[in-house]
Amino acid sequence: MTRIIADISVSLDGFVTGPDSGPDNGMGTGGETLHTWAFSDDPDDRRILREATVRSGAVVLGRRLFDVVDGPKGWDDTTGYGAGEVGKPPFVVVTSTPPKSVRLTGLDWTFVTTGLADAVAAARERAEAASSAGGKDLDVVLMGGGATVGSALEAGLVDVLSLHLAPVVLGAGTPLFTGGASPRTLVRRSVVATSTATHLIYDVSR
């Protein structure tokens, strides 16, 4: 069964980027420390990254995050999705205006202009098709940014919340939760602590 998984790294004080983030400073000041775990040699970090990304049948992201990863200082062959642990799943971008050009032409991009729910639905179709073709269950991963993940949770679109809690306090930046969300019941499924992050997985009650 295809699940919708929100997967994101977050600081101890709840930020998914540092301050002053933008296309030329994607993670903001100090924000790169949030993803130290993804490049760690710790066997638990590697296993968690591998297991999460190998089930990625399609990936959803917001336009702001797309502008970062497709920007001149964005992804390359060593820092793309899954940090080398997975192939190239299709990517679905939520945006009001599709870009005129794409730098990362080797990736499969779909731009959805009719809202987050439609983007998730499009990604689910892609993931289910890949599941059927490959004979194994694949998921839709919401990789961010923070507003996209928060909006998906608020809209009841998320089945699983996977947080990678980095041992850092950023003080400012892009918050994962803005305080306006409706209450949600989470059921903790696993906790794995490494030297670089505490990996938390919750089932989300709709």
The full set of domain ranges for the chain reads 4-204
pLDDT of 106 reads 87
Res. 83: pLDDT tops 60: no
Bond prior to 173 in cis (omega within 30° of 0) = no
H-assigned helices in 43-115? 43-54, 63-69
Enter the tokens of residue 31.
Answer: 């924000």
Whether domain 4-204 has CATH 3.60.110.10: no
Cβ neighbours of residue 88 under 8 Å, at least 6 residues apart?
A: 80, 81, 106, 107, 108
What average pLDDT does the chain have? 90
Mean pLDDT computed over 136-142: 94
pLDDT above 70: residue 57: yes
CA 148 → CA 60, 93, 190, 198, distances in Å? 9, 10, 24, 22
Cα three-residue angle 14-15-18, rounded to 5 degrees: 150
CA geometry: angle 122, 127, 133, nearest 5 deg: 130
pLDDT of 82 reads 64
Q: Which stretches within 77-173 are classed as H helix?
A: 116-134, 146-154
> How buried is 98 (Cβ within 10 angstroms: 0-12 exposed, 13-18 middle, 19+ buried)?
middle
Q: What is the pLDDT of residue 206?
A: 64
pTM of the model: 0.91
